[in-house]
Amino acid sequence: MPDPIPVMLMTRELGPGGTERQLTEVARALDPSRFQVHVGCFHEGFRADELRLAGLPVLRLPVTSFVNSSAVTGVWRLGRYLRRHKIRLVHTFDTNLNCFGVPVARAFGVPVVLSSRRFHRDLTPPRFLKLLRVTDRIASGIVVNSESVRRELVQQEHVPARRVHLCYNGIDLAKFNPDPRLRMPVLQDASLVIGVVCLLRPEKGLQTLLRAFAQLSRLREGVRLVFVGSGPEQPGLETLAQELGVRRQCVFQPTVSAVAPWLRSIDIFVLPSLSEALSNSLMEAMACGCACIASSAGGNPELVRDNETGLLFEPGNAPALAEKLSLLASNPLLRERLARASLHAIQARFSLEASAARMREIYDSHLRPAPGQIPQPDAPR
């Protein structure tokens, strides 16, 4: 049997967030008999501990800026590591490492260099756009996590379709499942729990959720809204909740590593994103048996089929979201039907095993290229 192929997966930091979680899951799921996985980052966090516990080496690069001496140190440290471990494939998972890791890996002769696009470029800081267009050209291929992002790259950025590879995120169904659906202590007295798990950032559209909830809470007693996550939007959300008269009905839970118990406490999960590629949190909520409502932004409709596996609404439209919330709040049978259908959809198409198999297929196709185009998975219908 041939030796495992040394590969390196890279992201800016290994803390909370969907990209960091997805890298960690892929790294642990790749077959160790075929791939010797290494991980690189600028900043460590609890995901680094998880990776090391799984026996995977983590290289921290002390890069604080691309325009000071830390970048030079990072280039040489990464280059030496790539050569010492004879890394044959580097895959960068986010904007910072696309801009840093792709050119460095190319400069040090790594045979296969893959970048990623895991969100729409309307969220990309302008200073990175020119760099990304360069790395788009020099990467062996670009891995995307939704059909909507694939279309953007091909149609707007003019990347050849054959170089863009679709690999849906995968969910660990042993960790994210409906049982047991028990309330967290802080939510024990709630008659109905509406919630979201995400980083509290502007593009998540959380003010829309809060305004819609305020309309609902005036009609129903005992309903609670929980935000699980941290981020720059939290002070503004707490202020808005106070202004809307619903602060006492809201729970703000800082980021936790174990989100499944919180998801099992939520009856109606809402993802009100203004921009989204493919949301890990939405998939995890579906896997945990929540009835889900999502905005129609980006890749959300690839997960939520309206009136089949959840409900969709126009991004930023608080009255429309309030109507969807009222419909589900008053109809437990509909909540149950949508939750059951969404769980089956996740189990059928978005398991961690399916995602790891697809990523392995992409890696193998570049490491041992065969004639013709790399096959793409079917988009959800």
CATH number at residue 281: 3.40.50.2000
Q: What is the mean pLDDT of the chain?
A: 93
56, 37 contact by CB (below 8 A): yes
Q: Minimum mean pLDDT among 83-97, 123-137, 212-226, 327-341: which range?
A: 123-137
- Greater model confidence, 327 or 2: 327
pLDDT at 187: 97
* 103: containing domain: 5-170+351-367
Is the separation of the CB atoms in 380 and 305 below 8 Å?
yes
Highest averaged pLDDT of the listed ranges 84-88, 170-174, 367-371, 372-376: 84-88
Residue 175 lies in a domain: no
User: Is 378 within the bounds of a domain?
Assistant: no
| Helix, coil or strand: residue 165 | strand
Quick one: average pLDDT of 195-221? 94
What is the mean pLDDT of the segment spanning 158-172? 93
Q: Is the pLDDT of residue 209 over 50?
A: yes
Same domain, 130 and 217: no
For 167, other C-beta atoms within 10 Å of its C-beta total 24
17 has pLDDT over 80:
no
Q: Which helix (H) or strand (E) holds 246?
A: none
In a domain, 180, yes or no: no
Residues 92 and 208 in one domain: no
* Token pair recorded at residue 156: 């707007």
What beta strand segments (E) does the chain contain?
5-13, 35-43, 58-60, 89-92, 112-117, 141-144, 164-166, 192-197, 223-228, 250-253, 268-271, 291-295, 311-313
Q: How confident is the model at residue 1 (pLDDT cuts 50, 70, 90)?
A: confident
- Phi/psi-derived region of residue 229, left when phi > 0, alpha when psi is between -120 and 50, beta in every other case: left
- Do 25 and 108 belong together in one domain? yes
Whether 200 and 237 map to the same domain: the answer is yes
Mean pLDDT across 171-184: 90
Is 122 in the same domain as 57? yes
Strand order in the sheet with 164-166: 58-60, 35-43, 5-13, 89-92, 112-117, 141-144, 164-166
Asked if 22 and 96 sit in the same domain, the reply is yes
pLDDT at 379 > cutoff 50: no
The answer, yes or no, to whether residue 319 has pLDDT greater than 50, is yes
User: Do residue 204 and residue 139 come from a single domain?
Assistant: no
**Does pLDDT of 22 surpass 90?**
no
Does residue 231 share a domain with residue 357? no
- Overall number of domains in the chain: 2
- CA–CA distance, 64 with 69 (Å, rounded to integer): 9
In this structure, is residue 377 part of a structural domain? no
The answer on pLDDT for 125 being more than 80 is: no
Instruction: Assess whether 47 and 165 both reside in one domain.
Output: yes
179 located within any domain: no
* DSSP 8-state symbol, 290: -
Q: Which two tokens stand for residue 295?
A: 């905005």
* Model pLDDT for residues 68-112, shown as the tens digit of each residue: 999 999 999 999 999 999 999 999 999 999 999 999 999 999 999
Nearest to 310 by CA among 322, 297, 324, 299: 324
Question: Is pLDDT of 30 > 70?
Answer: yes
Displacement of CA 3 from its chain's centroid (Å): 32
Is the pLDDT at 329 greater than 90? The verdict is: yes
Give the Cα-Cα-Cα angle 181, 185, 188 (nearest 5 degrees): 70
Question: 332 and 5 in contact (C-beta within 8 Å)?
Answer: no
Answer yes or no: is 339 within a domain.
Answer: yes
Task: Identify the pLDDT of residue 352.
Answer: 87
pLDDT computed for residue 130 by the predictor: 84
Among residues 329, 208, 214, the alpha carbon closest in space to that of 267 is found at 329
Residue 339 structure tokens: 């939750």
Kindly tell me if the per-residue pLDDT of 124 is higher than 80.
no
Domain membership of residue 219 (yes or no) is: yes
Same domain for 334 and 242, yes or no, is yes
Q: Could you tell me which residues are beta bridge partners of residue 238? A: none
Same structural domain for residues 357 and 316? no
- In angstroms, the CA 160 to CA 117 distance is 14
Residue 180, preceding bond cis, omega within 30 degrees?
A: yes
Q: Identify whether residues 41 and 162 lie together within a single domain.
A: yes
Q: What is the pLDDT of residue 380?
A: 47
Letter for the amino acid at 108?
Answer: F
- The closest alpha carbon to 18, from 296, 290, 355, belongs to 355
Residue 97 domain-assigned (yes or no): yes
* pLDDT at residue number 371: 52
Kindly tell me if the per-residue pLDDT of 203 is higher than 60. Answer: yes
pLDDT of 381 higher than 60 = no
pLDDT of residue 369: 57
Distance CA(351)–CA(283), nearest Å, equals 10
Q: How many CA atoms lie within 13 A of 308 on its CB side?
A: 10
pLDDT at 360 > cutoff 60 = yes
Check residue 131 and give its pLDDT. Answer: 87
Mean pLDDT of 133-160: 93
* Angle formed at CA 209 by CA 205 and CA 215, multiple of 5 degrees: 145
Q: Measured between alpha carbons, how far is 52 from 243 in angstroms, rounded to an integer?
A: 45
